[in-house]
Chains A and B, each alone.
Chain A
Amino acid sequence: EAGVTQSPTHLIKTRGQQATLRCSPISGHTSVYWYQQALGLGLQFLLWYDEGEERNRGNFPPRFSGRQFPNYSSELNVNALELEDSALYLCASSLVYGSANTGELFFGEGSRLTVL
């Protein structure tokens, strides 16, 4: 069974540009979570989608947005890129609504965004 897949693996952008990252959850999983892993800061919660709806959002500016498609895949968009947006962006999926409360999240390998 395929795990959580993310694309692209690496992305290089310049300040002010937009970045789009994609995530395909494990088949049958309806919840998708996005985290930012910046150097020295650990994993910071960005967004949680379930059944196409945004369920929770972390403490990030509005230029971080996303959506979930009918097939449960998800997209993270970062507009007006800033240097400090350089990080590894991790996607995770889960089968059950609210599974983060039980820790049952399955992570992809991440997309590394570099902003020059």
Chain B
Amino acid sequence: GDSVTQMEGPVTLSEEAFLTINCTYTATGYPSLFWYVQYPGEGLQLLLKATKADDKGSNKGFEATYRKETTSFHLEKGSVQVSDSAVYFCALSVPGANSKLTFGKGITLSVRP
């Protein structure tokens, strides 16, 4: 079945450090890929997405590129801020699969001043 694997956490970084959060997937069809973020005390919200190979999603300084050859969708940010501290979820959806988002386990990012 469809699945998403995220790197183990938690991750702690200093402000202005470079961030990479790894995400790989397994899907029976041609999925769309997403990153969701959950800030403390809030619900999950869509951060960025990509719907086809080599697409790059970007938002709030975060980027992720859909790599079909490596089945990956790694999240990156050049300079993290304290306000980026949150839980990050990678997810996929396969068109025609009855509209279901499949999530990874999530990873907690803490950014210290």
A56 at the interface (CB under 8 A from B): yes
A109 within 8 A of B: yes
Total chain B interface residues with beta-carbon distance under 8 A: 27
- A4 interface contact, C-beta 8 A: yes
Contact B93 A101 (CB under 8 A): yes
Residues of B within 8 A of A109 (CB): 41-43
Asked whether A108 lies within 8 Å of B101 as measured between CB atoms, the reply is no
Q: In the complex, which of the residues A40, A56, A104, A108 contacts B43, with contact meaning CB atoms closer than 8 Å?
A: A108
What is the CA–CA distance of A41 and B94 in the complex, to the nearest angstrom?
A: 21
Q: Is A95 part of the contact surface with B, judged by Cβ < 8 Å?
A: no
Contacting pair A90 B44 (CB below 8 A) = yes
* Cβ contact of B95, chosen from A31, A97, A101, A110, cutoff 8 A: A101
Q: Kindly provide the distance from the CB of B9 to the nearest chain A CB, expressed in whole angstroms.
A: 11
- B70: CB under 8 A from chain A? no
What mask results when residues 76 to 109 of chain A are scored 1 for a CB within 8 Å of chain B, else 0?
A: 0000000000000010100001111111111111
Interface string of B1-13 (1 = CB under 8 A from A): 0001000000000
Instruction: Please state if B44 and A103 are interface contacts (CB–CB under 8 Å).
Output: no
In Å, the complex CA distance between A110 and B95 comes to: 26
State whether the Cβ of A116 lies closer than 8 Å to any Cβ in chain B: no
The reply on A43 being an interface residue by CB < 8 A is yes
Say whether, besides A42-B89, A43-B89, A110-B43, A105 and B105 are in contact (CB < 8 Å): no
Roughly how many angstroms separate A9 CA and B5 CA in the complex, as a whole number? 29
Task: State whether A40 touches B105 (Cβ < 8 A).
Answer: yes
Q: Is A64 in the interface zone, CB < 8 Å from B? A: no
Instruction: Mark out the residues of chain B between 5 and 34 whose CB falls within 8 Å of any chain A CB in the assembled complex.
Output: 32, 34
Residues of B whose CB lies within 8 Å of any CB of A are 4, 32, 34, 36, 41-46, 49, 51, 89, 91, 93-95, 97-106
13 additional A-B residue pairs with CB within 8 Å, beyond A100-B100, A101-B97, A102-B93: A40-B105, A42-B103, A43-B89, A43-B101, A43-B103, A58-B100, A90-B43, A99-B99, A100-B99, A103-B91, A106-B43, A109-B42, A110-B43
B-contacting residues of A (Cβ < 8 Å)? 3-4, 31, 33, 35, 40-45, 48, 55-56, 58, 90, 92, 97-110
